[in-house]
Structure 1
Amino acid sequence: MLTDESKEGRPESVVVPQRMDAVRELIMQDLHVTYLEMKASLGIKVFKEIKKNNRQHRTIFHHDNADCHTSAETSRLLEGPEIELTGHPPYNPDLAPNGFYLFPCEE
């Protein structure tokens, strides 16, 4: 039998077979189920896991005011305390910080 060795700072298992089965069951019940519906029914905490397991490298989401980013559901999700956003002035690409995190040492 093959088993994983435990590593310091790493959760015992991020992918749980029972959770995978529950996700498959949700998808089979409704092929159009959304991630937010799965998150609500299964209690999945993706952003907290990303932040917890990635302490040296931050995950930064660039909110560029695209239609899909300004929907009510997305806005509520992005306003959480565990999410760090970079602002983006609407309709003004000259002021947009597109390269800010690509070239952090340059001024």
Structure 2
Amino acid sequence: MSDGDWSFPADLVALRVAFIKAEADTAAVAAEGPASADVLAGQAVDDSAYAVRLHAAWERWRVIAERLLDHPYWAGVPKDRRVDAREALQRLARHGESR
């Protein structure tokens, strides 16, 4: 099936776009902090404010992922086609299109 064969609801596309943004936001927050190995080795101080920001970003990402995976649309997609559909949705969301 090609990407054009899928018809995704707008709210599902919006969730996938939000997931991509939340993933990038989480990575950006993670990049601000010290490496875990440095903290464990005592070469960096564990900053609790940073940890709170990282946890909040990760939690937003997790909640969006859960909503994305539990979306009712997937119930109508045959199980053997879901990987293809999810990949098509990913490409659609990355290109900022909607259907």
TM-score, normalized by length of structure 2? 0.29
Question: Which has the larger Rg?
Answer: 1
Kindly indicate whether structure 1 or structure 2 has the higher relative contact order, using CA contacts under 8 Å at least 6 residues apart. 2
Q: Which structure has more helix as a fraction of its residues?
A: 2
TM-score, normalized by length of structure 1? 0.28
